[in-house]
Amino acid sequence: MPLLLAGTVAQAAPALIEDTLAQRLAACTTCHGKQGRAAPDGYHPRIAGKPAGYLLHQLQNFRDGRRHYGPMVALVDPLPDSYLREMAEHFAALDLPYPAPAPASESAAVLDRGRVLATHGDEAKGLPACSACHGVALTGVLPAVPGLLGLPRDYLTGQLGGWVHDERRALAPDCMAAIAKKLDGGDLVAVSAWLASQLVPVPAKPAVASTQVPPQRCGSMGALP
């Protein structure tokens, strides 16, 4: 019988994880799909091609308590702005095709109401058109306004509902919270359904910021900090 060596059993050294951009991005694409194209569950949205300023703001919002989703908070909580900016700029630079939208299940009347809200707004309710801030083509505006096309209906509905119920916030002044709270339930469903039913134009790049003054001042429209 072999003799036992004195002392503690040597433990294997922990595996080293390289601090590379590819390693950082692995956590993102686990939920947001390959290359950030979106997950098939309709909840984890596409991040590829979104403006870098928008992506950075959302990472900061999760880290700083303005958005509340446990896995995202745990992921970004200890990370500095420089680390988050590098990830945001990577995904913003991706130019990948969008899949065709899912067929809409809503009636023609509901979809038409959504079209009116998205492209014209509703002056009587104090609702500006989505296109007034998110670009005429609704593909976003640099440096930090996201596109609204190519997103699932359930995700759009959930995010608007998050603003209505103070579960999602942005840098002050939080213009999206003010706008979302003016939407009744029918309008919220209508605009989400219409946006989700639209083909994404090619190219789908965000527009360059214009000299047109947006209808409201929004804290999240600024450049990258």
Domains of the chain: 21-92 (1.10.760.10), 108-209 (1.10.760.10)
The two tokens of residue 21 are 């951009």
pLDDT score for 8: 46
- Location of structure tokens 């309710």: 125
The two tokens of residue 62 are 């999760």
pLDDT tens per residue, range 96-123? 999 999 999 999 999 999 999 999 999 9
pLDDT score for 9: 45
Q: What is the torsional sign of CA 70, 27, 82, 173?
A: negative
pLDDT score for 1: 46
Neighbours of 77 (CB within 10 A): 11
Residues 6+ apart with CB under 8 A from 138: 118, 130, 131, 147, 148, 149, 195, 198
Please list the ranges in the chain whose pLDDT falls under 50: 1, 3-10, 225
- E strands, 41-90, are none
